[in-house]
Amino acid sequence: MRTLCLYYTRTNTTKEIMENIAGIIGADVAEYTDGKDRSGFLGYAGACFATVKNTISKVSIRGEINLKEYDRLVIGMPVWVEGPCAIGRALIKKYSSVMPAEVYYVVAHMGDKHDYTAKIKAMDKLLGRPSAGQVSIRTKGNDYIRESAAFAQTLV
């Protein structure tokens, strides 16, 4: 089974999580982006603004990736403003027709107060079919590498 782990990252945490998962399950890994520099405080503020104003729609996958070559896809995305980030949602919307049948969501978030299960599951509307599974991982004050490894073991 060929698996691709995709991630968007602003401060490299989701990248670290997805590279860890990919290493454990023997998957390829690639980054998707809206092409904007979102580093630093201005980048953070711009990301909040773009999320609230719903202005993010452009997205592409870096490198020579053909989604049709994969049997399984694991999509990593950070939480932005209490939901999976708009760039991840744009990715699903744009590529759902060429994504493999088996799609998993991995969502990274800083806080520990919210249960994102319903918001993550709601992305199935964009996917156009039920996803195969999901996990949300707290990244602050938590061993997110261990937690992502535990999720990866369920995919081995």
Ligand X SMILES: Cc1cc2nc3c(=O)[nH]c(=O)nc-3n(C[C@H](O)[C@H](O)[C@H](O)COP(=O)(O)O)c2cc1C
> Interface residues with ligand X (CB under 6 A)?
9-14, 44, 47-48, 78-82, 108-111, 139
> Could you say which DSSP state residue 143 is in?
-
* Smallest separation, CB 90 to ligand X (Å): 15
**In the complex with ligand X, which residue's Cβ is closer, 40 or 130?**
40
Among 34, 94, 93, which residue's Cα sits nearest to residue 59?
34
* Segment holding 137, helix H or strand E: strand 133-138
Q: How far is residue 30's CA from residue 2's CA, in Å, rounded to a whole number?
A: 14
In whole angstroms, the minimum distance from the beta carbon of 156 to ligand X comes to 24
Q: Shortest Cβ distance from residue 85 to ligand X (Å)?
A: 7
Residues 6+ apart with CB under 8 A from 28: 2, 3, 4, 5, 22, 65, 70
Instruction: Return the structure tokens found at 29.
Output: 């890994």
| Least spacing, CB of residue 57 vs ligand X, in Å | 17
64 vs 112, beta carbon nearer ligand X: 112
Residue keyed to tokens 């073991």: 153
Residue whose CB is less far from ligand X, 70 or 80: 80
Our CB check for ligand X shows the closer of 69 and 143 to be 143
